[in-house]
Structure 1
Amino acid sequence: MSASPQAVVIGSSAGALEALSRILSVLPATFILPVIAVVHLPPDKRSILAELLQARCAVRVREAEDKEPITPGTIYFAPPDYHLLVEMDRSLSLSSDEPVLFSRPSIDVLFESAADAYGCGLLGVVLTGANHDGARGLNAIVEGGGSAIVQDPDSAFAPAMPQAAIEACPNARVLSVDAIASYLQEIGRS
């Protein structure tokens, strides 16, 4: 694992709210890393995910906006029906390009762009989900020198996504949701 990640990216799908709540709600207000996340959501409805999680979190939670600079200690979520990317200047951008693995937003798109921007300073986390989105992107993070954590498929609401990530990145750390939360608390101390 990289000794000092500069950013965390998280991908999740089916069962995301429970897993994300358990992980993000324990982060202290002093958490210093930016967290950028994609959750597969219906494309035709406004998301209240950021609002739901903000009510449970001490860290600032918001839906990402196009051309927004990434701020430490903030959790960003992709809006429905837009890919979320990290630009080389470490700002966020939104794209309406075609879905990837039937998903927009796509976890792979976020992870691959963040790997380019952060290199060895990136930690990628794949949580519960019902497809293979995120596996290719997690591999890109590892190939770029970053670190990978995958939720233990046995503890996932939908194990297909974590299982695919483990197959793509056999050296990823496989942890329970609570262990992921503890690890993030540890690396995000000021």
Structure 2
Amino acid sequence: MSAAGIEAVVIGGSAGGVDALAVMLPALPAALPVPVIVVLHLPREKPSLLVEIFSRQCALPVQEAQDKAPIEPGNVYFAPADYHLLVDHGPSFALSVDEPVHYSRPSIDVLFETAADVYAEHLLAVVLTGASQDGAAGLAAVHRAGGTTVVQEPQEALSPYMPESALRTSPVDHVLPLAGIAQLIGGLAANRT
């Protein structure tokens, strides 16, 4: 299960995603040499509390992604509520208020597709629990670009629809429980000498 050569991790989730991330993100080591960029479907009308929640639990610094900000290794970034989060060459972030995709803004597909354009085979993308098909097309784009694709074990997911959609849409490199996904991402620290 080699993840050598990975330069960024993107994660998408919806229903049950906060609980899934509460298993994965605190398990990641402080020495992680790549950025972890997360889109969770959130209510648009409320500010996101994800940074507050996860800052206390994680060894890595946690922040909300800012428009035009450079993407730094060893950080966890969350998409702000009601904005699409895109990866630009640099690499840096871009925020957009384009139409929702699969009724969602931020959209997992938008993050995954733009990250695949920038990182290509150096990207690891993870689809977690969720009740929509957002993420399936994005994961397929990562696969086409040569990146590593991971889907949460549907039987373990609070809402299996999103992982199942991803599995139906494209070949996937790994289908793992949350602990296995955390181990795979955490192993990136060990792969750097």
Shorter-normalised TM range: over 0.9
The aligned runs of 1:120-131 (5 Å cut-off) are 120-131=121-132
Q: Which residue of 2 aligns with 1:143?
A: 144
1:11-22 alignment to 2 at 5 Å? Answer: 11-22=12-23
Secondary structure in 2 matching 1:158: coil
Residue matched to 1:186: 187
- 1:28 and 1:36 mapped to 2: Cα distance? 15
Q: CA deviation at 1:17?
A: 1.1
Tell whether the 8 Å contact from 2:71 to 2:93 is kept in structure 1 after alignment. Answer: yes
Sort the Cα spacing of 1:3 and 1:29 in 2 relative to 1 into closer, same or farther, 3 A.
closer
Could you say what secondary structure the match of 1:33 adopts? coil
Matched with 2:79 is 78
Report the aligned-residue RMSD. 1.0
Q: In 2, Cα distance between the equivalents of 1:172 and 1:105?
A: 25
Task: Indicate if the aligned counterparts of 1:8 and 1:36 stay in contact, CA closer than 8 A.
Answer: yes
Q: CA separation in 1, counterparts of 2:20 and 2:7? A: 22
Equivalence for 2:37: 36
- Give the percent of matched residue pairs that are identical in Structure 1 and Structure 2: 51
**Unaligned 5+ residue runs, structure 2?**
none
Instruction: Report Cα offsets for 1:43-86 as digits up to 9, x if no partner.
Output: 11001011101111010111111001000000100000000000
Query: Does the residue aligned with 1:25 lie in a helix, a strand or coil?
Result: helix
Q: How far off its partner does 1:174 sit?
A: 0.3
Kindly provide the amino acid, as one letter, of the partner of residue 12 in structure 1: G
TM-score (norm 2): 0.96
> Is the 8 Å Cα contact of residues 2 and 146 (structure 1) preserved in structure 2?
no
Q: Which amino acid aligns with 1:114?
A: A
Instruction: Give the SS at the match of 2:63.
Output: strand
Runs of at least 5 residues in structure 1 that lack an aligned partner in the other structure: none
The Cα shift of 1:2 comes to: 5.1
- When the two structures are aligned, how many residues end up with a matched partner? 190
Query: Which 10-residue stretch deviates more, 104-113 or 162-171?
Result: 162-171
Residues 39-78 of structure 1 mapped to structure 2, 5 A cutoff: 39-78=40-79
Bigger mean CA deviation after superposition, 22-31 or 73-82: 22-31
Q: CA deviation at 1:28?
A: 1.4
Instruction: Tell me, yes or no, if the aligned pair for 2:116 and 2:147 is still in contact at 8 Å.
Output: yes
Match of 1:119 in 2: 120
